[in-house]
Structure 1
Amino acid sequence: MNKVKRIQSTVLIVLLLLLSGCGGQEQSTAKKMELPSAGLAKLVINHKNGSVKITGRSDSDKIEVDASVKASGISMDNLELKLEAQQDTASLDARFKGQFLSMGEGSVDLEIKVPKQLNLEITSHRDGKIQISDVSSNGTIDNINGDIEVSKLSGTLKIKNQDGGINVQDIGSDVKIDNNNGHIVVNRIGGSAEIHVGDGSLDIDHVEKDATITQTGSGEVKMGEIKGKIFQNL
């Protein structure tokens, strides 16, 4: 029995030492990346922990990324930050890889400038605000925990979000939103709108075509001008 207790005590001490070693002062750094956009049709972003701001530019022939990195209790060596192209798709990875028994955290805030015509896909994002504006293309967003703002996007827009508010305005084509929790604003949509509202509310106005609205929670739904047919399941 004493031997068992000694083993347990040793394991506890090792764990405490490992955990205490994960502390430390906050580190920060800034990095810039560029990639020519010739021949590219899409930018795919895999990003966790941090904000993303994407702005389209008509006078640019490259993707420009400004990354602001912070780490507390986790090594900067765990940072994965790269921008590369394969065939017609550019890939941007910005995240901290897991660290065994780490109690720290790392974040990467991104400011991205892209040619207006480049399609955008944000995959596996979590914990941070997403902003997209002034792009003449399609956008797809898959997010967990964070507000989303999209404006002046001329193509189609698809959003899947777990927790956070969504504000979508001045979209040129169809909009599809699946939101689990949070307030949704949809305004000035050039195509149709398909909105699933979970535990949250919805304000929708100025939709040129049909609007399909489903709701599984109890929040308020306000509808303004819908020029097409309205399909509701509340």
Structure 2
Amino acid sequence: MVLDFRLKQKSIEQAKLDNIIYFNNNKEKVLASIKEYFEKGDFKTVVSESEIYLSANDKELEELYNQAQNEIVIIKTNEILKLLKNIPMSEYEKNKNLYAELVNYNPNETKYKDKLKFYSKKLQEQKSKEKNEIEDYKKAQKAPEEFVKIIKQSWRKDGFGTIAVVDLTVKNTAPFDVKDIIFLCNFYGNSGTQLNSIEKQVFEIIRYDETRTFKNIDLGFINSQAARGGCRVVTMQTPPGNLRKFYN
């Protein structure tokens, strides 16, 4: 292994020496060829051809090499800036990647480094938010009733004090739509004794992040001595094809 490494190094050194000798013997021809590429705007070829003979430490060659490098930086920078004009600010990953390229070509430009830092932070925040939303989605799949809550309710007696009617305001914080919610409503007498327990299903859809009020829900007959009561969400269904939060 050591012998192979030494042989490889010796071969590289010999190639450098051969290039230096060739350049010194053919300097005018080599420089003329490189200048021709430069005049044509083929700066990549100028760089690649110049690199072969840089070990010769020729000032004119080094100047051509550096000028071509600068031209490539200018061209690439302008191309990237043109692309950035058509990318919305909200597309954090695309902006981050392009500003990373700009920093690579312009390592001393503070404005590009600041933009890269800004979009890197925004992208990290976005990914963190998406991760939390996916975790919420998984939790909501297992127990959607924890994400669909009654935030306001009232009830009254009708039908000569024997029928319960409720108004319910429901908030859906699950990351998907829900439908056909089943409510459980319990009623108690003044003594605290439970008199009725009634389930009621409402055949409506509540969209993601929507709040809906259902008025005049008829729960049917209750004990005439019912003095207080309340309802809670028991369960529900999720309609098919409703995962628009993540898959639209």
TM-score by length of 2: 0.21
Higher share in strand: 1
Higher share in helix: 2
TM-score by length of 1: 0.22
Rg: which structure is higher? Answer: 2
